[in-house]
Amino acid sequence: QQQVKQSPQSLIVQKGGIPIINCAYENTAFDYFPWYQQFPGKGPALLIAIRPDVSEKKEGRFTISFNKSAKQFSLHIMDSQPGDSATYFCAASMSNFGNEKLTFGTGTRLTIIP
Amino acid sequence: DVKVTQSSRYLVKRTGEKVFLECVQDMDHENMFWYRQDPGLGLRLIYFSYDVKMKEKGDIPEGYSVSREKKERFSLILESASTNQTSMYLCASRTGRHLGNTIYFGEGSWLTVV
């Protein structure tokens, strides 16, 4: 079953715009929510992550917004650039020391046009 | 820098062949993972290993097995390859010593079964 639902599947945004990618989860025991960025021909790499004790986290132009009551979290990219064109995956896991598994969303292919 | 190396980037195998996908990490990580990536389905966990000689089934283990004889090496085995196993396979590793630690991915192995 799909425990982390991600949307949209693809997204095209003009340079300078703010793409927003959304994820929703079902399991209230999830307490770690990372986003991974994947360029063509490469493996995914950690971009930014959040825990549910905060509602927002910023790292450079990337921001995660987290809504615990709605069981949703989203990625915003400020002042987007063509170099941000990639596939983005949200994920979630439960803290279980030495026994954590990440559950990934289905991915969003983002294209930033000049 | 953490390096997760997947020795075979592109393979073409025939139906029924036994296939080995090898993965080596150089950071003394306890945890290692094999994921499968398919368009529209995201990353799905096949098997993971918490330590040497330990393995646990992920979400889609059918048709696969794994081997972890040494800490740095985690192998994925397709006992009898089938066309529905054509996919991109991603190996990953993580230290097991702290909660929510980053998972580091290799660059992927593209497998085509004909």
Mean pLDDT over B30-36 rounds to 94
Query: What type of residue is B84?
Result: N
Query: What type of residue is A31?
Result: D
Nearest to B42 among A34, A45, A107 (CB): A107
Number of H helices, E strands in chain A: 0, 11
d(CA B101, CA B113): 34
- Identify the burial level of B42 via C-beta atoms within 10 angstroms of its C-beta, where 0-12 means exposed, 13-18 middle and 19 or more buried: buried
Give A45 to chain B, closest Cα distance, Å: 7
Whether the CB-CB separation of B110 and B9 falls below 8 Å is answered with yes
For residue A68, give every residue at least 6 positions away whose Cβ sits within 8 Å of its Cβ, in sequence order, or none: A52, A55
Domains defined along chain A, listed by start: 4-113 (2.60.40.10)
For B29, nearest residue in chain A (alpha carbons)? A98
Predicted local confidence at residue A99, as pLDDT: 58
The percent of residues in chain B predicted with pLDDT above 70, rounded, is 94
Give B88 to chain A, closest Cα distance, Å: 10
Report A:42-71 residues touching B (Cβ under 8 A).
42-46, 49, 51
Predicted local confidence at residue A102, as pLDDT: 85
pLDDT digits (tens, 9 = 90+) for A50-90: 988 899 999 999 999 999 999 999 999 999 999 999 999 99
Looking at the domain covering B4-113, what would its CATH class be?
mainly beta
Whether the CB-CB separation of A33 and A64 falls below 8 Å is answered with yes
Q: What confidence category does residue B95 fall into, taking pLDDT thresholds of 50, 70 and 90?
A: confident
Q: Is the pLDDT of residue A1 over 60?
A: no
Mean pLDDT over B42-55 rounds to 92
Mean pLDDT, all residues of chain A: 92
Q: Is the pLDDT of residue A98 over 80?
A: no
- The residue extents of the domains of chain B are 4-113
Give A38 to chain B, closest Cα distance, Å: 10
Which residues from chain A sit within 8 angstroms of residue B102, using beta carbons? 34, 46
Q: Which residue from B44, B17, B15 is spatially nearest to A1, judged by alpha carbons? A: B44
Task: Annotate B45-83 with DSSP letters as a single string.
Answer: EEEEESSTT--EE-S--TT-EEEEEETTEEEEEESS--G
